[in-house]
A and B are shown apart, each in its own frame.
Chain A
Amino acid sequence: MMTSNDGVLTKDDLKKICIRSCALEASWNFERQQHMGFAFAMMPALEKIYGNNEAGKKEAAQRHLEFFNTAPPLSTFIMGIVVSMEEENAKNPENFDTATITSIKTALMGPLAGIGDSLFWGTLLVIGIGVGASFSKEGNILGPILFLLIFNVPNFLLRYFGVMQGYKFGTKLLENIESSGVMKTLTHAASILGLMVIGGMSGSMVSIQVAGSIGQGEEATKIQSIIDGILPNMLSLLCVLLVYWMLKKGFKTTHVLFGIFIFGIVAAFFGFLTT
């Protein structure tokens, strides 16, 4: 059925990913952020790729419910690459290491979030507001219209080209996958990159601050700055490692979730952490 090197996905399937990517942020949450949105965009493609392969389908669905967060306009590039990898995995499961898919996703989401946030929220949004507000101030309806156009023409163009280019790039990357050692190399390289990015993001996206200071008056030193002097973001790292350890020990994620919530309230009540 799927013997040739050509994938099962057509251009229309990729367009569908592009359209469904628009709902990426609809169920954003603190824990895993855009994960359901990512899965939502991938669903029809996964359904088609795995067909009657129930086990493969289940694994893929679970894989794409893991943490994901990037700049929405650039998300489809990642989706395009990922979907080409899923295709390869369905075709050639004994030769494919699925951890690579997660590594690649992770490796790309952080950098693209940086680029996309500064391009869209840092630049286009500000330009849009500047131009739009100058018309709106006079009560001119062109204000909101120009505002939406300035932001959204690039937004939707990038979504379309992103998925097409991502898929092309992914397919090319996997071209030689059948030859010996290539998959192993790819897996190793992807996990190096993925873990470096996730290491950086553990510092940048988990925030925790100790309140209070030692000493009095002008002599006072903030406890947080003492901690930063030893290892900046030390507490963020500790949080990630502690939760990682708890999950390894078999704690349920739901219990950890409520645990963090209660910890936050208690910490604020006794005032040893601050925001």
Chain B
Amino acid sequence: MDSLLVQAILLAILTAVIVIDWMTGTNNLSRPIVTSVFVGMIMGDLKMGIMMGATLELAFVGAITIGAARPPDIVSGGILGTAFAIATGKGAEFALTLAFPIAALFLLVDNLLTLLVLPMIARKADTFAQEGNLKGISRMHVLGFILVKSLPRALFIGFSFYLGSPVMERILNAIPPFVQDGINIAAGIMPALGFAILLQMLLKKDVLVYFVIGFAMFSYLNVPILGIAIFGVCLAYIIVTMENKNKQTVSKEVSIDDDF
């Protein structure tokens, strides 16, 4: 076997394993600063690997998961960036220009899988819940991780390294921009479904107004969610205290001690 193939296989295995990051406490094992150590070992230059880790990590530092926004695929970007840097020996910037289109292409694949495939696995978990099969739910959770988060990424990185950046860039360019945009638009709207399912449980006519208050506070006043919650606690306290006072005039037995 040629060394390129061996390296590609090892990088794929590394990827499949390193994403246990999300299984073991979202502990950032899959960030470039850590993966670069292992990539360095695989590529036969540990020191260069560690140094590349610093460069790539700083390049990705803005890519932080906050709320619904999703960063570019930092796992594949970090692993391939380090691997290309050592393989070509042409420095970090050149390596990044090779790795970036691949990370962008994988983000597309990942978005598609998290958008459509994982919810299908989740529906299987829903069925298990209706049957009271709790072990089944746990199995679906792990299956979702393997089938969506781990394996596709590993295969993708292995193939990308083996085929080289130009091939992957051609694939990325062959995908019409509206498909990429469409996936991102759908990903932006999709949480609406999650909220709607939740609201089915919570929304009743007499409390609808609080949903509106929360929305209006965020939208017009730009109050962050924590601020809305603080107002919510106070409002809830005022309302239940008043309600209980009204009741107390009828029966003196009701106690109004600390509910919150």
Chain A contacts to B: CB under 8 angstroms: 21-33, 35-37, 39-40, 43, 46-47, 54, 57-58, 61-62, 65-67, 72-73, 99, 102-103, 106-107, 110-111, 113-115, 117, 121-122, 125-126, 128-129, 132-134, 136-141, 143-144, 147-148, 151-152, 155-156, 159, 173, 176, 179-182, 185-186, 188-209, 231-234, 236-237, 239-240, 242-244, 246-248, 253-254, 256-258, 260-261, 263-269, 271, 273-275
Contact = CB atoms under 8 A, between A and B. Distances in A.
Contacts of A21: 25
Contacts of B197: 32, 66-67, 247, 253
Given A30-B187, A260-B186, A144 B50 contact: yes
Contacts of B177: 268
Contacts of B200: 244, 247-248
Contacts of B148: 27, 29
Contact of A269 (B26, B182, B254, B259): B182
Nearest to A185: B240
Given A185-B244, A257-B119, A144 B33 contact: yes
B232 interface: yes
A65 B125 contact: yes
Q: Interface extent on B, as a size class?
A: 35 or more
A201 to B, nearest CB: 6
Contact of B34 (A24, A25, A147, A191): A147
Given A196-B211, A202-B215, 5 more contacts: A26-B22, A36-B144, A148-B28, A199-B218, A239-B189
Contact of A192 (B65, B122, B138, B235): B235
B212 A26 contact: no
Contact of B132 (A54, A232, A260): A54
Given A30-B115, A136-B57, A233 B149 contact: no
Contacts of A254: 119-120, 123
B233 interface: yes
A78 to B, nearest CB: 13
Dominant secondary structure of chain A at its interface with chain B: helix
B114 A202 contact: no
Interface of B: 22-29, 31, 33-34, 36-37, 46-48, 50-51, 53-55, 57-58, 61, 64-68, 114-116, 118-123, 125-126, 128-132, 134-135, 137-138, 140-142, 144-145, 148-149, 177-204, 207-208, 210-220, 223-226, 228-233, 235-237, 239-240, 243-244, 247, 253-255, 257, 259-260
